[in-house]
Amino acid sequence: MKKIVLFIVLLLVVGWSVASAAQRRETLTLAASDMKTLSIDCGAGYLKVLGVDGLEQIEVAAVLNVNGIADDELADFKKEFVTLKLEKVSGKAELTAKIEEEFTLSSLFGHHNDARIDLDVRVPRRLVLVIDDGSGDIDIRDSDGNVELVDGSGDICLTGIKGQVDIEDGSGEIRLVRIGGLLKIEDGSGDIELNDAGSDVTIDDGSGQISLQRVLGSVTIEDGSGDIEIDGVEKDVIIDEAGSGGVKIRNVKGKVKE
């Protein structure tokens, strides 16, 4: 009987440990009046970037979340496994928010815990953004500069970007609204939706539906699978490869090549 009670207590302790989660919030700032570019290197966790008129510094609100450990263990975990810093390097701003891949927390029953760093970033609108992201949703709004984004997984939303946009994405939905400059997307899987593009659009897509509306430039698409819907293009539409899926093209002022 005592052995059974001890086993039940052990189960409760382990279960609490698995269910527990620790969280730590930090704020980072960096003067940016003499900088043109912000590079962001981040792993798991969501990333939100907002361009702000009149702002001359970069402001980062970071939240470290770790499942499976207690709050009093978080400081040691951060010291050993986390890199979180905002600094000036060779004339540009660099934000690094990463958790070392070799950290492995597991319970007696093989439960693998996870950790992430959620980022809310406010920047001067003029900055060029160069982002390398591991996993998690991305939301970028109100930027006058170019945006270069390499993403592993997670949904992507870009709104009100005046510069050029270059996206290399593994998986996840991509939603774009009011993109002013040239737009290039290389995507593995996931739907792509674009509304209001001010210049040429080039898409190389593996799978997922593509929906484009109101493009002032030309459109070039190479697609593996998924429906393609295009409505309202000022110049030409070129479908190099449609793959599998239906194609609907309307209101094109230039030539259409399929």
* Residue 69 confidence class, pLDDT cut points 50, 70, 90: confident
Q: For 87-138, what is each residue's pLDDT tens digit?
A: 999 999 999 999 987 554 443 333 345 899 999 999 999 999 999 999 999 9
Q: For 78-89, what is each residue's pLDDT tens digit?
A: 998 999 999 999
Give CA–CA dist 221/30, Å, rounded. 40
Predicted local confidence at residue 71, as pLDDT: 87
Residues 6 or more apart whose CB falls under 8 angstroms from that of 247 comprise 227, 228, 239, 258
Go through the chain and tell me how many residues it has: 258
Predicted local confidence at residue 113, as pLDDT: 54
Three-class SS of 145-184: CCEEEEEEECCEEEEEECCCEEEEEEECCEEEEEECCCEE
Q: For 173-225, what is each residue's pLDDT tens digit?
A: 999 999 999 999 999 999 999 999 999 999 999 999 999 999 999 999 999 99
Give mean pLDDT, residues 43-51.
96
Predicted local confidence at residue 234, as pLDDT: 98
AA identity, residue 7: F
Q: Measure Cα distances from 13 to 7, 17, 74, 95 in Å.
A: 10, 6, 19, 38
pLDDT: which is higher, 156 or 19: 156
Q: Which H helix or E strand runs over 8?
A: helix 2-19
Count of CB atoms within 10 A of residue 189's CB? Answer: 17
pLDDT exceeds cutoff 60 at 49: yes
Q: Measure Cα distances from 113 to 45, 67, 99, 103, 110 in Å.
A: 14, 6, 13, 10, 9
CB 114 within 8 A of CB 131: no
Predicted TM-score of the model (pTM) = 0.88
Structure-token pair, residue 193: 């939706």
Predicted local confidence at residue 108, as pLDDT: 33
Query: Is 47 buried (19+), middle (13-18) or exposed (0-12) by CB count in 10 A?
Result: buried
Helix residue spans in 74-121 (DSSP H): 74-81
Give CA–CA dist 163/1, Å, rounded. 71
Domain ranges of the chain: 21-37+44-101+114-128, 146-258
Q: For 1-42, what is each residue's pLDDT tens digit?
A: 444 444 444 444 444 444 468 899 999 999 999 999 999 999
Predicted local confidence at residue 13, as pLDDT: 43
Predicted local confidence at residue 102, as pLDDT: 57
